[in-house]
Amino acid sequence: MHHFSYHGSALHCEDVDLAGVARLYGTPTYVYSATTIADNVTRLQRSFRELDVQVCYAMKANSSLALLRHFANLGTSFDLVSGGEIRRVLAAGSEVKASVFAGVGKSEAEIELALKNEVFSFHVESEPELARINYVAGRLGVKAPIAIRINPNVDAKTHAKITTGKSDNKFGIPLAVAASAYEAASKLPHIRVAGIQMHIGSQLTTIGPFTEAVKKVVPVVAQLQADYGLEYFSIGGGIGIIYEDALASGDQAWWDAFPAAERPITPEAYGAALTPLLKDLGLKIMLEPGRFLVGNAGVMLSRVEYLKRGAQKNFLVIDAAMNDLARPAMYDAYHEVVPLQRDTSRAAMTADIVGPICESGDCFAKDREIQSVGEGELVAFMSAGAYGYTMSSRYNTRGTAAEVLVQGSSFELINARETFEQMIANEKIPAFLA
Q: Is 238 annotated as a binding residue?
A: yes
Question: 224, 196 in Cβ contact below 8 A?
Answer: yes
- Cβ-contact 125, 164 below 8 angstroms: no
Quote the CA–CA distance of 355 and 357 in Å, as a whole number. Answer: 6
Distance CA 199, CA 238 (A): 8
Is 289 known as a binding-site position? yes
Is 291 annotated to bind a ligand? Reply is: yes
Question: Which member of 13, 56, 358, 363 is catalytic?
Answer: 358
The verdict on whether residue 359 carries a ligand-binding annotation is: yes
For residue 364, count other CB atoms closer than 10 A to its CB. 27
- Helix (H), strand (E), coil (C) string for 201-230: ECCECCCHHHHHHHHHHHHHHHHHHHHHCC
93 marked as part of a ligand binding site? no
Residues 133, 103 contacting (CB under 8 angstroms):
no
Map 348-363 to HEC letters.
Answer: EEEEEEECCCCCCCCE
Dihedral over alpha carbons 262, 295, 84, 148 (to 10 degrees): -10
Q: Rounded CA gap, 111 and 140, in Å? A: 11
Rg (CA), the chain: 23
Helices (H), 117-192: 127-140, 178-186
The response to whether 331 counts as a known ligand-binding position is yes
State whether residue 123 is helix, strand or coil.
Answer: strand
Nearest to 286 by CA among 137, 102, 34, 157: 102
DSSP string, 39-83: HHHHHHHHHTTTS-EEEEEEGGG---HHHHHHHHHTT-EEEE-SH
358 catalytic? Reply is: yes
| 234/35 Cα distance (integer angstroms) | 27
Any known ligand binding at 288?
yes
Quick check: helix, strand or coil at residue 196? strand
From first CA to last CA, the distance across the chain in angstroms is: 58
250 annotated as belonging to a binding site for a ligand:
no
**Binding-site residues:** 238, 288-291, 327, 331, 359, 387
**Binding-site residues for pyridoxal 5'-phosphate:** 238, 288-291, 387
**Binding-site residues for substrate:** 291, 327, 331, 359, 387
Active site residues: 358
